[in-house]
Amino acid sequence: MVGYRVHYYVFTDLPDEVPTVALGEGRQLTVIKTASSNRWQEISLRRMEMIEKLIEDEVINKAEYIFSLDVDSKFYAHWGAESLGDLVGALHSWFFGKSREQFTYERRPESQAFIPLDEGDYYYGGAVIGGRPDKVLKLVKTCRMQLDVDRANKIKAVWQEESHLNKYFLYNKHTKVFSQSTRCFHDDQVVRSDCVGGYVQFDCDNITVATTFFALGKYVRFLKDLLESAEQHFMVGYRVHYYVFTDLPDEVPTVALGEGRQLTVIKTASSNRWQEISLRRMEMIEKLIEDEVINKAEYIFSLDVDSKFYAHWGAESLGDLVGALHSWFFGKSREQFTYERRPESQAFIPLDEGDYYYGGAVIGGRPDKVLKLVKTCRMQLDVDRANKIKAVWQEESHLNKYFLYNKPTKVLSPEYLWDDQQAKLSFMKVVRFSRVAKNNTEMGVSALFTHTENQ
């Protein structure tokens, strides 16, 4: 949370041994003396109670968000605003990719933390909980009360507060989940939102999601499957306004749309070169936001048309500025990312910089935030064109440069940007949105443009 105001609260029975650490501007530390205990079980029982009291007495009126993190831990890389949400949980690294049967839930019905054998989705770690103070207060108060009942009944859940936390998250879904995906054991937390309907509490009646597709030339053939699958899976229950940019408006298929959903076709000039389409895409999104979306929608996504929805994509994906990890580079090292490495280009990223490689097939967020993104990328593309240089992956290269210095507030895992030509990773439970397999030669896409398909 570099650049944000942070108030650390350290609970300890040894206040005199708390080290002096230089704190940045707007950051402070408060030491709270607590009773000693040599038993982690007792500490675990008291932790929920102490967080509850801290929120009620102080945090509820002084902070917008709160995290409780285990002290025997260390930060290795950026942890920023992408981690913020109403209620935040983290997948336990040791159980990531395991089946429900392997989760060490509390299985004894006598405990308040009991979870039946046929229930449960993930196993959450007790080392990280967070969110809005009122949401976290409800969580810790519920867990504390259940711990009290267990104590009165002389039973201890197998993993104490962690067992009760898992019970709480099973029936009170968090709005943001951190996965312990390949790079996240030691790097940024990637938002992996495995969700069901009602997962995030938004008022459907007050949210419109604008969504753009670019279907030029032969790409118009992908619209039918894309739109039909979107009606099944994309922001179901919310108002959605599809904007289809195409040079073949008469070939846009008729698809039955649900209540509160509409489609607008915008005729554009033809082009046989994907490079030219790429250059113009940012400009057209910029104009659309300025002319219409800024006053008519709360969020906007721009999605590649040669794609299809396969599972639920809902409010968990909404954020101020949203990016998606490129599936072909997921888990790869920085050295393998195909950033633009020529200093002459405005998309240039030095060899020793960069955290993730983002796919250009999915961008989204609040209209004003996306407007700033596309305008910046469009201007940089214009400078490159004037200097007669093309970034290696055009708009995607400029997008990665933008996200490097303007961090997205939400990062979607490759569940939201897969490729049908890729084998599904063993730990992935679902593919939500994926690029469909196609004949690139027939579609007029160069072999170079499909650089990731053979990685």
305 annotated to bind ligand: yes
**93 within 8 A of 125, measured Cβ to Cβ:** yes
* The one-letter amino acid at 334: R
Nearest to 416 by CA among 285, 289, 235: 235
Q: Which residues contact 23 (CB under 8 A, 6 or more apart)?
A: 29
CB 195 within 8 A of CB 170: no
- 382 known member of a binding site: no
C-alpha torsion 39→166→77→193, nearest 10: 180
Residue carrying structure tokens 């490729």? 419
Q: Is 238 annotated as a binding residue?
A: no
Q: Catalytic pick from 82, 340, 396, 415?
A: 396
Per the annotation, does 13 bind a ligand? no
Beta strands 124-131 and 66-69 are antiparallel
Does residue 306 have a known ligand-binding role?
A: yes
Residue with tokens 């033809």: 270
**Integer Cα distance of 241 and 261 in angstroms:** 6
Angle at 132 between CA 71 and CA 175, to 5 degrees: 95
| 419 annotated to bind ligand | yes
Strand partners, 364: 301, 322
State the distance between the two ends of the chain, measured CA to CA, in whole angstroms: 34
How many Cα neighbours within 13 Å face the side chain of 2? 5
DSSP state at residue 158: T
User: Are the beta carbons of 226 and 197 closer than 8 angstroms?
Assistant: no
- Judge contact between 401 and 385, C-beta under 8 A: no
- Told to judge if 82 belongs to the known catalytic residues of this protein, a careful annotator would answer no
The Cα 373–Cα 396 span in angstroms is 12
CA angle in degrees (0–180, nearest 5) for 291-363-277: 70
Compute CA 186 distance to the chain's CA centroid, rounded to the nearest angstrom.
18
Judging by DSSP bridges, how do beta strands 321-325 and 410-412 pair with one another?
parallel
CB-based contacts of 435: which residues, under 8 Å, 6+ apart? 304, 306, 307, 361, 417, 418, 419, 420, 421
Chain center to CA of 171: 21
Classify strands 66-69 and 418-419 as parallel, antiparallel or unpaired: unpaired
Work out the number of other CB atoms within 10 angstroms of the CB of residue 37: 13
Tokens of 397: 């290269």
Binding-site residues for Mn(2+), in ranges, read: 304, 306
What is the set of active-site residues?
A: 396
Binding-site residues, in ranges, read: 219, 304-306, 326, 338, 396, 419
